[in-house]
């Protein structure tokens, strides 16, 4: 793995499989009564969230803490960022405070790339979702979940058929998943109305279809993407009802999956819009499991990015105050 | 006062000595034959190439309003170093150059700075708002004698308003320079729309948003019998449409920027806003098309779209970055590398695209003139083989947002002369 994790394309097949294997190992450990590992003692991990995303933030916090890192969470709301502080000044502040890793969520595509390559900070950068670009740890946790159900929790995903449905145009989850699942040997089909597919999508390493039923037939997994209501106002589709009829996952459609096929969603869901409640809560759904797997996969990413290097040996005392809040243990 | 520029090759042809007095060329003699009297000034041309001084139709000098990014003095100093003897200051200042008062002020500040002629471009609409025409006639009649009008940065998208503007400026031989960008098709746009924008997750700026406006405006210009100038065209489709219109006799002229002649959208992969510009950097095929267009005359001129931005407006994530890049000092080397070096433009054609044609479009009487006795000594001497490395700290520009940072360029400006007065000698401000 390179120094940072900015894109799912940063990962080779061997690296991706190694992360999934590490996550599986960490999952076994978290079955114990004492879940904590000393691996990142004395290291500081900063959660830098310019966008609200409670679930991703909590997942990264839990992952870092189980590895005994000091965790600082910096959310845009109520901080100097909301007072107009630039990405650069925020980064310089974090650098001055000695962050070993910065987990960044930002509304602008490429912001983590900018942080990693601008010379503003020395620490490792992990992309926790940037604009409409990528969300590589989501793809890793999805791959982990797929592997668990479809490949006995081992190796890669060769030959498995995965259908990703919805707002691909604005989805960082879709971009990262197409890249990673392809790296792992899966066959991916994107299904969306043409308005919600980016120009040039034909060149992506996947199939494209407008016909949800046809794409679903015999597939091993379907991943539903969140569709935001404001897309309707921008005329991407005529109405939520029409969207739901053509691209929503209901019980009938879910039954088209192969035996043992699973239903996934990165959350948060719009029940009744892209997915019916019956399917979301149904037997094929692994949506809650995805959340659990997220912690293990993020532990594995931090472990592999930071664990190899020796810590400074300093004490793990919290050293920060002011507008920073040290996340509660 | 007599000055001799000795041993220079006009348009790359036979070496001569050029003698001028009171700003006008008095004699052109074979090299080594000029009669130099005591007290005469002598500029050594080193056997290099002399052309009429470059004229830029598209320059952002940022004054008034953003003097932290550039001033008329700093921007024109940069222009002189780039071989320019006249620039056209775009109207998107604060306040907007939409009245006789503002354009006269800009013009006067240019005269005071003295590095090159500053011709203000007047706004087409009040405050660049695209709602009602600015007082175009008052700007034309002012001391600044405005002939080019543009809402550059914003497109005059209302077809009726565009039609009226095209018609109205006929009475003083003005021209509308259109920034062709359909606003609805480019809401929130960040880079060229194509395969790469989808991968990078940056909102696309489709070629059709430029081409549709150009096609409309060419048909409008034909319909009302006006001339029209297309700013910074950037796509193969735009070149094709302009070529089509010229074949049909539409009075259209068009410009291309140096950066669209050499850089491609791939630079967006860095997410570094130094490469963020409007119109965006396009594909390699578009770059080839604008080079073809410039070579065959479909594109009339090279115009820099020099767009200085304060450091904090570029030192940020891509989406937050400002559009635009510096261009004055690197324009000639880019033309050298992309057009002259590969044999696509000769020196006569460089003089046409960078001096004579822009001066004609702007109706400047004393710029872009032939190198001949009786003509103004407004000249640039260029060394086509000099190599230098771009370093913004050495530029008088107040901004550093060059896309060519640390790049080695081939071709340099050696001397610049404005009506007999050197503004640049041996690559340094005189």
Residue B306 is classified by DSSP as B
- Kindly report whether the global pTM for this prediction surpasses the value 0.90: yes
CA distance B353 to B255: 9
In this model, does residue A313 exceed pLDDT 60? Answer: no
Distance between start and end Cα atoms, chain B: 17
Count how many residues are written for chain A.
329
Count how many residues are written for chain B.
430
Bridge partners, residue A207, by sequence? A189
Q: Which residues of A touch B316 (CB under 8 A)?
A: 86-88, 114
Q: Is the dihedral of CA A165, A166, A167, A171 positive or negative?
A: negative
Which residues of A lie inside 8 Å of B (Cβ-Cβ)? 86-88, 106-111, 113-114, 117-118, 130-134, 172, 175, 198-201, 203-204
Using left for φ > 0, alpha for ψ between -120 and 50, and beta otherwise, residue A235 falls in: left
* A43-52, A177-186, B213-222: range with lowest mean pLDDT: A43-52
Q: Which residues of A touch B312 (CB under 8 A)?
A: 86
**Cβ within 8 Å, pair A109-B193:** no
A112: nearest CA partner in chain B:
B317
The catalytic position among B117, B305, B313, B352 is B305
Residue A5 is classified by DSSP as B
CATH 3.40.50.1370 domain residues, chain A: 8-135+292-326, 136-286
**Cβ within 8 Å, pair A109-B271:** yes
Q: DSSP for B201-248?
A: T--EE-HHHHHHHHHHHHHHHHHHT--EEE-S--SHHHHHHHHHHHHT
For residue range A131-169, what is the model confidence (pLDDT) as tens digits?
999 999 999 999 999 999 999 999 999 999 999 999 999
Contact B305, B324 (CB under 8 A): yes
* A66-70, A90-94, A271-275, B275-279: range with lowest mean pLDDT: A90-94
* Residue whose token pair is 């960008």: B181
Among the partner residues B201, B270, B312, nearest to A132 by beta-carbon distance: B201
* Pairing label, strands A325-326, B148-149: unpaired
Query: What class does CATH assign to A136-286?
Result: alpha beta
For residue range B34-67, what is the model confidence (pLDDT) as tens digits?
999 999 999 999 999 999 999 999 999 999 999 9
pLDDT score recorded for residue A233: 76
CA distance A86 to B71: 25
* Mutation target vs A (from B198, B275, B285; most A CBs, 10 A cutoff): B198
Q: Count the helices and strands in chain B (H runs, E runs).
A: 12, 18
B340: part of which helix (H) or strand (E)? Answer: none
CA distance A241 to A14: 43
Catalogue the E-assigned strands of chain A.
Answer: 44-49, 70-75, 101-106, 124-130, 161-165, 187-191, 207-209, 221-224, 262-264, 325-326
**Cα of A114 to nearest chain B Cα, Å:** 6
Q: At what angle do helices A287-306 and A54-66 cross, to 10 degrees?
A: 50
Q: Which residues of A touch B318 (CB under 8 A)?
A: 108-111, 114
Our CA angle for B13, B15, B16, nearest 5°, is 120
Among the partner residues B193, B206, B316, nearest to A88 by beta-carbon distance: B316
3-state secondary structure at position A252: helix
**Cβ within 8 Å, pair B203-A117:** no
Peptide bond into B279 cis (omega under 30): yes
* A44-58, A185-199, B193-207, B367-381: range with lowest mean pLDDT: A44-58
Closest CA to A265 of A250, A275, A254, A252: A275
A197: nearest CA partner in chain B:
B198
Size of interface A-B (CB pairs under 8 A): 78
pLDDT score recorded for residue A231: 76
Among the partner residues A114, A131, A203, nearest to B201 by beta-carbon distance: A131
What structural domains does chain B harbor? 2-50+374-383+408-429 (2.30.40.10), 52-361 (3.20.20.140)
Phi and psi for B59 in degrees, rounded to 5? -135, 130
Residue B339 is classified by DSSP as I
Read off the tokens for A4.
């940072």
**Cα of A291 to nearest chain B Cα, Å:** 25
Which CATH code is given to the segment(s) A8-135+292-326? 3.40.50.1370
Phi and psi for A282 in degrees, rounded to 5? -80, 180
Q: Which residues of B touch A203 (CB under 8 A)?
A: 195
pLDDT score recorded for residue A83: 64
**Cβ within 8 Å, pair B203-A114:** no
**Cα of B203 to nearest chain A Cα, Å:** 9
B283 CB contacts (<8 Å, ≥6 apart)? B192, B194, B264, B265
pLDDT band with cut points at 50, 70 and 90 for residue A312: very low
Q: At what angle do helices B236-247 and B207-224 cross, to 10 degrees?
A: 10
For residue range B75-115, what is the model confidence (pLDDT) as tens digits?
999 999 999 999 999 999 999 999 999 999 999 999 999 99
- The count of other CB atoms within 10 Å of the CB of residue B133 is 18
Q: Which residues of A touch B272 (CB under 8 A)?
A: 114, 117
Mean of pLDDT over chain B: 98
Closest CA to A123 of A137, A133, A111, A112: A112
Closest CA to B355 of B364, B342, B344, B346: B364
ipTM exceeding the 0.95 mark: no
B198: nearest CA partner in chain A:
A198
For residue range B186-198, what is the model confidence (pLDDT) as tens digits?
999 999 999 999 9
* Pairing label, strands B191-192, B175-178: unpaired
* Pairing label, strands B84-89, B54-59: parallel
**Cβ within 8 Å, pair A200-B202:** no
Mean of pLDDT over chain A: 89
**Cβ within 8 Å, pair B206-A175:** no
What letters, b where the CB count within 10 A reaches 16 and e where it falls short, cover B290-316?
bbebbbeebbbbbbbbbbbbbeebbbb
A6: nearest CA partner in chain B:
B200
Among the partner residues B190, B201, B317, nearest to A175 by beta-carbon distance: B201
pLDDT band with cut points at 50, 70 and 90 for residue B343: very high
CA R_g for chain A: 20
What letters, b where the CB count within 10 A reaches 16 and e where it falls short, cover B181-209?
bbeebbeebbbbbbbbbbbbbbbbbbbeb
In this model, does residue A326 exceed pLDDT 50? Answer: no
B226 CB contacts (<8 Å, ≥6 apart)? B166, B167, B169, B170, B176, B220, B251
- The count of other CB atoms within 10 Å of the CB of residue A251 is 11
Q: Is B300 noted as a catalytic residue in this protein?
A: no
Residue B27 is classified by DSSP as E
Among the partner residues B195, B270, B320, nearest to A200 by beta-carbon distance: B195
CA R_g for chain B: 21
pLDDT band with cut points at 50, 70 and 90 for residue A33: confident
């Amino acid at each position: 793995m390179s120094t940072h994790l900015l894109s799912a394309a940063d990962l080779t097949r061997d690296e991706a499989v190694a992360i999934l294997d590490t996550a599986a190992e960490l999952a076994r450990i978290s079955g114990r009564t004492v879940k904590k590992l000393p691996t990142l003692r004395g290291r500081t991990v900063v959660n830098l969230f310019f966008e609200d995303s409670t679930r991703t933030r909590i997942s990264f916090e839990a992952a870092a803490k189980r590895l005994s890192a000091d965790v600082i969470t910096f959310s845009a709301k109520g901080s100097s960022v909301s007072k107009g502080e630039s990405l650069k000044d925020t980064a310089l502040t974090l650098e001055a405070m000695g962050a070993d890793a910065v987990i960044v969520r930002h509304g602008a595509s490429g912001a983590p790339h900018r942080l990693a390559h601008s010379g503003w900070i020395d620490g490792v950068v992990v992309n926790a979702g940037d604009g409409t670009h990528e969300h590589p740890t989501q793809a890793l946790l999805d791959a982990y979940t797929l592997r668990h159900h479809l490949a006995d929790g081992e190796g890669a995903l060769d030959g498995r058929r995965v259908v990703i449905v919805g707002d691909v145009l604005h989805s960082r989850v879709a971009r990262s998943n197409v890249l990673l699942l392809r790296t792992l040997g899966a066959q991916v089909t994107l299904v969306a109305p043409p308005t919600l597919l980016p120009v040039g999508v034909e060149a992506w390493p996947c199939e494209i279809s407008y016909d949800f039923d046809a794409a679903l037939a015999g597939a091993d997994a379907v991943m539903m993407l969140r569709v935001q209501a404001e897309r309707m106002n921008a005329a991407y589709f005529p109405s939520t009802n029409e969207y739901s009829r053509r691209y929503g996952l209901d019980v009938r459609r879910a039954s088209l999956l192969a035996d043992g096929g699973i239903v996934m969603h990165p959350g948060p869901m719009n029940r009744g819009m892209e997915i019916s409640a019956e399917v979301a809560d149904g037997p094929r759904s692994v949506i809650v499991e995805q959340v659990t797997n997220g912690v293990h996969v993020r532990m594995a990413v931090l472990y592999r990015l930071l664990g190899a290097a020796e810590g400074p040996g300093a004490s793990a005392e919290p050293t920060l105050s002011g507008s920073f809040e040290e996340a509660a243990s | 006062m007599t000055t001799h520029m000795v041993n220079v090759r006009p348009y790359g042809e036979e070496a001569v000595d050029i003698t001028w007095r009171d700003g006008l060329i008095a004699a052109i003699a074979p090299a080594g034959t000029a009669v130099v009297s005591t007290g005469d000034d002598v500029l050594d041309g080193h056997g290099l190439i002399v052309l009429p001084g470059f004229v830029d139709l598209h320059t952002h000098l940022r004054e008034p309003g953003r003097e932290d990014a550039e001033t008329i003095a700093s921007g024109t100093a940069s222009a002189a170093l780039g071989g320019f003897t006249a620039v056209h200051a775009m109207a998107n200042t604060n306040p907007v150059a939409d009245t006789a008062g503002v354009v006269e002020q800009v013009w006067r500040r240019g005269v005071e700075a003295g590095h090159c002629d500053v011709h203000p471009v007047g706004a087409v609409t009040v405050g660049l708002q695209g709602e009602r025409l600015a007082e175009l006639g008052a700007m034309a009649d002012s001391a600044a004698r405005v002939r080019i009008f543009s809402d550059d940065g914003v497109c005059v998208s209302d077809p009726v308003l565009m039609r009226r503007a095209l018609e109205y400026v006929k009475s003083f031989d003005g021209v509308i320079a259109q920034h062709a960008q359909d606003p609805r098709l480019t809401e929130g746009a960040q880079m060229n729309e194509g395969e790469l924008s989808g991968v990078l997750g940056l909102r696309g700026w489709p070629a059709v948003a430029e081409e549709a406006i150009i096609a409309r405006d060419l048909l409008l210009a034909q319909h009302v019998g006006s001339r029209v100038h297309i700013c910074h065209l950037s796509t193969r489709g735009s070149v094709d449409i302009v070529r089509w219109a010229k074949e049909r006799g539409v009075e259209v002229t068009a410009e291309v920027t140096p950066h669209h002649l050499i850089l491609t959208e791939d630079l967006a992969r860095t997410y570094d806003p130094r490469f963020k510009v409007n119109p965006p950097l396009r594909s390699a095929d578009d770059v080839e098309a604008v080079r073809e267009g410039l070579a065959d005359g479909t594109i009339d001129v090279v115009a820099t779209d020099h767009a200085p931005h304060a450091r904090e407006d570029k030192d940020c994530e891509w989406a937050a970055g400002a559009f635009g890049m510096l261009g004055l000092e690197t324009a000639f080397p880019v033309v050298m590398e992309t057009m002259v070096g590969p044999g696509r433009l000769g020196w006569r054609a460089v003089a046409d695209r960078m001096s004579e044609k822009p001066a004609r479009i702007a109706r400047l009487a004393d710029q872009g003139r032939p190198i001949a006795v009786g003509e103004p000594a407004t000249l640039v001497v260029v060394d086509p083989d000099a190599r230098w490395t771009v370093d913004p700290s050495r530029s008088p520009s107040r901004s550093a947002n060059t896309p060519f940072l640390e790049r080695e360029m081939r071709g340099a400006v050696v001397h610049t002369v404005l009506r007999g007065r050197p503004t640049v000698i041996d690559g340094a401000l005189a």
